[in-house]
Amino acid sequence: MLDICTVTYNNLNWLRIFTDYLFANTKDFKLYISDSGSTDKTCEYLKKLKAKYPDVVTYRHTKDNHGWTKGINWGIAKSSSPYILIANYDIILPEKWFERMSAHLKDDVGAVGPISDVVSGRQDFHYSYGQYEDDVNLLIGFRILTKREILDKVGDLDEHYFWGHDDYDFSIRMRKAGYRLIIARDVFVKHFCYNSMSQIETQKPELFKDGKDYTIKKHGQEEYIKTRKVIPSLVVGIPFWGDVDPDFVSSMLSMEQPKGLGAVVFARTERTIIAPARNLLAQVAIDHNSQFLFFVDSDMVFGAESLMRLLLRACDKNISIVGGICYKRREPFEPCILNRKGKKWVYCKVPELPGLYEVGGIGMGFTIIKTSVFKDLKKPYFYLDKNGLREDLNFCLNAKKLGHRIFVDTTVQVGHLGERVIIDHYFKSKQLKEGE
């Protein structure tokens, strides 16, 4: 059983859409609607809704708008079900939303939110490129699913907040109680607008300032900044050595990348030998707590969609490292994919059928690595051994020993800038034909 708590204030059309989709796409629930003194025909609509659906409970505050938190807490106090949804009335709930969201409420998860189109931070749907769920420091209060037993420990909404920043406080208290906050990236909720919040912000801007100041006073500046900060999804690490070729610049400018403010961090090194350069860039990914590190060397050229293709592959829980197919700069232009044969590395032939293939090791010229891999390994992650073995192969060998799987996606064709030509799949094919 599920209890849904919402607050309405005028804007009857949005409330109608919300309830229509709610009853069409949700089973076994009670709906608690607190009306903050609406002056339109909301009151009449709520009477009809109660007559049609016996599981609708309403409360009307007749004097004026008594705010979001008081209305939600009234619903929480009335409710008794194991699950509680805190929801705006200007959203569309999709089919099977509850089944999918509740699946994320594991024992250590305190609350779950969806992705949407009119939100900020990690819940912006532009971040959604394949991952199943996402740990965050803040869940935006337009829609939060939690459990009754968790609210009994953490408490309901702080009624000092009239409108805005209550979700900051709620998220901080959840995390301080030892719970994780999760975005369910398999649930998209259409969010109409922020009109009601915009009215409050315009008419009573002091309420928003008070919310921020109160949160900082209650939890501290550091905690407020931590909650507000958007954790990047991807660090693009570029180990520069010398001059940059215009073809590389063109590829970078055209490169499709994850959208959303703060989704991508670009990092580079200058005139640092390759192994230390890669270690420095790996540390950037760790420091930013990003999900992925994407190595792209400054002598690569590639198609605009290449990064996003690899990123979709990297979201697979069974894949730790995945790269595109590129070739060495010098003859005989071997593909940068290898397997172990005894204690030696041997170059592999590129399979004729394009696709995803597991390998023993790959070059790092155009490769995505889950940041969690670095957390499993000891420093330095990249190094030349006493036999001069390449830094990328040492990294792959150590990662494989810990159970991390490495793949190459041969549909992602990457060119390698050589002395006068680009060494890629087509160049290599031509060389083979001429040698016949």
The secondary structure of 274-324 as a DSSP string is HHHHHHHHHHHHHHTT-SEEEEE-TTEEE-TTHHHHHHHHHTSTT-SEEEE
Rounded-to-integer distance, Cα 113 and Cα 181, Å: 8
Q: What is the DSSP letter of 367?
A: E
Instruction: Indicate yes or no: pTM above 0.85.
Output: no
- First and final C-alpha spacing in the chain: 71
Q: Are 163 and 207 in contact (CB under 8 A)?
A: yes
Per-residue confidence (pLDDT) for residue 21, from 0 to 100: 95
φ, ψ at 374 (rounded to 5°)? -65, -35
Q: What is the pLDDT along the chain (436 residues), one digit of tens a residue?
A: 899 999 998 889 999 999 999 999 999 999 999 988 888 899 899 999 999 998 999 887 766 667 789 999 999 999 999 999 999 999 999 999 999 999 999 999 999 999 998 887 889 888 877 778 889 999 999 999 999 999 999 999 998 887 778 999 999 999 999 999 999 999 999 988 655 555 555 556 666 678 889 999 999 999 999 998 888 889 999 998 777 888 999 999 999 998 877 889 999 998 888 899 999 999 999 999 899 999 999 989 999 999 999 999 998 889 999 999 998 877 788 888 888 888 888 888 888 888 999 999 999 999 999 999 999 999 999 998 876 668 899 999 999 999 999 999 999 999 888 765 666 777 777 766 666 5
Report how far residue 284's alpha carbon sits from residue 165's, in angstroms, rounded to the nearest whole number: 30
> In which element (H, E) is residue 416 found?
strand 406-417
The residue type at 345: W
* pLDDT (0 to 100) of residue 394: 92
**Peptide bond before 380: cis, by omega within 30 degrees of 0?**
yes
Query: 81 exposed, middle or buried (CB, 10 Å; 0-12, 13-18, 19+)?
Result: middle
Domains and CATH numbers, the chain: 2-228 (3.90.550.10), 234-434 (3.90.550.40)
Task: Write out the H or E segment, with its range, that includes residue 408.
Answer: strand 406-417
